Chain A
Amino acid sequence: MENFTPLSASIGGLLIGSAAALLLWLNGRIAGISGIVSGAVEGHGTPRGWRWMFLGGLVLGAVVALAVTEQPLAGITGLSGPLVITAGLLVGFGTRLGSGCTSGHGVCGLARFSVRSLAATLTFMLAGAITVFIIRHGLGG
């Protein structure tokens, strides 16, 4: 646990939770990033303007925060390009099929005590941990 960063993790989590609360309080919307992205790009017959504004804010906020903090590993997977795209395909397909990701199910859904979100969160956490285990420790490694 030598890389454990409890302070920055807690502050960041409080900010993320506050952002989700702000969006629900003002706009009545769930801050689920996968849904906001697909709705912004594909429409689904719902308003798109606020989605693009949210995503623009997400990028802008991150750019500013990256400029004022020390984050040498931000945005770096260490994988080859095709593997990064493959991971994106899996995440895009999976979050669409499963109606949400870490933010929509993990932060917003759990806060509404949604059984679907609890099941989804446990499932993607477990699948993620198994995947990392196989890559780092499995297959005779």
Chain B
Amino acid sequence: MTRVTLRLWAALAAGALFGIGLVVSQMTSPAKVLAFLDVAGAWDPSLALVMGAALLVTVPAFRVILGRGRPLLDESFHLPVKQSLDARLLTGAALFGVGWGLAGFCPGPAVAALGSGQADPWLFVFGLLIGGWVAGRLPARG
């Protein structure tokens, strides 16, 4: 197999593992996510543990992987280059948070739940694509 083909299978495997993780952690259930965000109600800290456990892997793993200089199946890493804070980042994150708090879906769980047999993930992802497309039309610098 060529390296390009191997990269496709690697992406499929990583995606599948990610999807299993989202379901096992119950992040595909909006009620579970909203219970985490509801700090003044019957607070459910589970999501903090999901993120904490994920970081327990990624913090040391990223350090080792990035220290190797290049990925196994490509010439170089594809990493974000921006370093400084700006209004776009914070405004975007705030708007994302409002939508997240409204429905209990963020992009990963919503896409993962497309096969759940429910209509909500499809409606949400429809909105997600439109919203992303509109934001992509904005002037690059603002």
Chain A positions near chain B (C-beta within 8 angstroms)? 1-6, 8-31, 33-34, 37-38, 41-42, 49-51, 53-66, 69, 71, 73-79, 81, 83-99, 101-103, 105-112, 114-116, 119-121, 123-133, 135-137
Contact = CB atoms under 8 A, between A and B. Distances in A.
B49 A6 contact: yes
B12 A56 contact: yes
Given A25-B72, A66-B116, A15 B20 contact: yes
Contacts of B76: 28
B80 A33 contact: no
Contacts, number: 510
Given A16-B22, A19-B17, A124-B100, A37 B128 contact: yes
Interface residues of B, number: 118
Contact of B107 (A5, A21, A42, A95): A95
A23 B11 contact: yes
B29 A71 contact: yes
A88 B108 contact: no
Q: Which 7 A-B residue pairings sit nearest by Cβ, starting from the closest?
A: A88-B127, A12-B25, A98-B92, A127-B97, A57-B15, A92-B131, A13-B53
Nearest to B90: A123
